[in-house]
């Protein structure tokens, strides 16, 4: 049994000045860097969308950013265009320590479906492959940090707990978007799924 630190989407577009900035997102870079040494493995995820991605409001004429539509796989929030493949906004925050990262998992690269979770796309069925990677390496205890607490961190943590991993979210090293109470809802849902909030 070994411990992995999973750093979710610490990218320029989710930090102040970025296209989908999370308040205080840059404040958690140094704490995350400091955590890395305490883990057997460090894994980074990277939101990575093609220009025609279905989660971008501007790909739906007349739709407002932060509104919700129904996709074939369920409800989908429409976001400002962010983390476009290869763009500066998709890069990791310039101060994030990358040397310890043994895997960079990209997600959300299929135009027709979003992927908040690092484990499954938003249909809750298409795997990213991360579960197999972690199991093959014996990384059974997972600590999650990064952005955003109430979307990609929460969805990843809940999926990981359902898959049988021992999961905690280090809340001081996260920040939330907090769309219509999503932060409190995410905390309740994580707790109900057996995720420890520390």
Kindly list the residues in this chain that would bind ligand VGL in the complex (CB under 6 A): 9, 14, 47, 79, 116, 147-148, 151-152
Residue 83 Cβ vs ligand VGL, minimum distance, rounded to whole Å: 7
Distance CA 73, CA 121 (A): 10
Q: Which does 151 bind (CB under 5 to 8 A by kind): Zn ion, ligand VGL, none?
A: ligand VGL
Minimum CB distance to ligand VGL smaller for 9 or for 121:
9
Minimum CB distance to ligand VGL smaller for 4 or for 176:
176
Burial string for 129-139 (b: 16+ CB within 10 Å, else e) reads ebbebbeeeeb
Q: Which does 148 bind (CB under 5 to 8 A by kind): Zn ion, ligand VGL, none?
A: ligand VGL
DSSP readout, 165-181?
Answer: -EEEEEEEEEE----TT
Q: Which does 48 bind (CB under 5 to 8 A by kind): Zn ion, ligand VGL, none?
A: none
Distance CA 149, CA 37 (A): 22
Phi-psi region of 72 (alpha: psi -120 to 50; beta: other; left: phi over 0): alpha
Enzyme catalytic residues? 9, 107, 152
Site residues for Zn ion per CB under 5 A: 47
């Amino acid at each position: 049994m070994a411990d992995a630190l999973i750093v979710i989407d610490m990218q320029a577009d989710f930090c102040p000045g970025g296209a989908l900035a999370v308040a205080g997102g840059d404040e958690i870079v140094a704490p995350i860097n400091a955590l890395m040494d305490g883990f057997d493995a460090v894994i980074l995820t990277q939101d990575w969308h093609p220009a025609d991605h279905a989660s971008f409001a501007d790909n739906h004429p007349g739709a407002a950013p932060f509104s919700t539509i129904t996709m074939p796989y369920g409800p989908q929030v429409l976001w400002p265009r962010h983390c476009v493949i290869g763009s500066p906004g998709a890069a990791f925050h310039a101060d994030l320590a990358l040397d310890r990262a043994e895997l960079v998992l990209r997600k959300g690269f299929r135009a027709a479906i979003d992927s908040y979770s690092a484990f499954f796309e938003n249909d809750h069925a298409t795997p990213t492959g991360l579960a197999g990677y972690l199991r093959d390496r014996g990384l059974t205890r997972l600590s999650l940090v990064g952005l955003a607490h109430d979307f990609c961190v929460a969805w990843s943590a809940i999926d990981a707990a359902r898959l049988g991993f021992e999961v905690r979210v280090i809340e001081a090293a996260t920040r939330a978007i907090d769309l219509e109470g999503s932060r409190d809802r995410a905390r309740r849902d994580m707790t109900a799924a057996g995720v420890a909030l520390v």
